[in-house]
Amino acid sequence: MAKILFVVSGADHWTLADGTAHPTGFWAEEAVAPYRAFTAAGHEVVVATPGGVVPTVDRGSLAPDVNGGQEGADAVAAGLEEFEELRRPVALEDVDPDAYDAVFYPGGHGPMEDLAVDPVSGRLLARVLASGKPLGVVCHGPAALLAATGPDGRSAFAGYRLTGFTNTEETQAGFADKAKWLLQDRLVALGADFQEGEAWAPFVITDRNLITGQNPASSVPLAAEMLNRLG
């Protein structure tokens, strides 16, 4: 049995370019689907957040129209109820990455607010990347990569092939013109080799031990790839 760390945003809002606070948090499917996959395979999941705060789910991620209808929405809501570890997170500051076999970051706009500038998360990411252990990051979760620097002061992820929520998807979601910055732009700027798949379709990129998914639909295949690595 492997022990898998979920690093989840502790933010309950995302500050837009005009200074307004958009209610957000983590995206339900991106946490629930991998959790179900990992626990069904017999693995243990531990949730960590900055400060150990109980994470906030983005209420928009519970709507039927983003879950393929009411049945899908009900399944995601039920999955959140099953995911008891979300209600008793450990403090990210107290985490020893060596105690885990893999690390996973779900998305939602929350990471754009806190994990993107969190040095504790950044150090953990750089350490896990260097360890060779599976590191899975999906949708807006790659915002956390912005805080990770290597020994040379450059981004720890410079030169890595990866993906994340695209400018096209952010535009179609209605936030591109409201955001302070766009995730794809920032990942390109740090020197990553950003790969873009079809909008809203499953798309997973693997480079060494880094496994990234573009959007919510990518969470299931990303979890499957992490399970393959864990054996």
**Residue pLDDT, tens place only, 62-110:** 999 999 999 999 999 999 999 999 999 999 999 999 999 999 999 999 9
Tokens 């309950």 appear where? 12
Phi, psi of 210 (to 5 degrees): -90, 125
CA distance to 87, 111, 192, per residue, from 145 (Å): 25, 10, 10
Query: Which SS3 state, helix, strand or coil, does residue 223 take?
Result: helix
Tell me the residue ranges of DSSP E strands in the chain.
Answer: 3-7, 13-15, 21-23, 44-49, 90-91, 102-105, 135-138, 161-162, 193-194, 204-207, 210-213
Q: Which amino acid is at 76?
A: V
**Residue pLDDT, tens place only, 133-163:** 999 999 999 999 999 998 899 999 999 999 9
Tell me the residue ranges of DSSP E strands in 40-134.
Answer: 44-49, 90-91, 102-105
Euclidean distance between CA atoms 37 and 16, whole angstroms: 34
Residue 139: its H or E element: none
For residues 176 and 126, the answer to whether their CB atoms sit within 8 Å is no
For residues 207 and 166, the answer to whether their CB atoms sit within 8 Å is no
Which residues, in sequence order, are CB contacts of 161 under 8 Å at separation 6+? 192, 193, 195, 205, 207
Q: 128: how many CB neighbours lie within 10 A of its CB? A: 23
Residue 231 above 90 pLDDT?
A: no
pLDDT of residue 35: 98
**Residue pLDDT, tens place only, 5-51:** 999 999 999 999 999 999 999 999 999 999 999 999 999 999 999 99
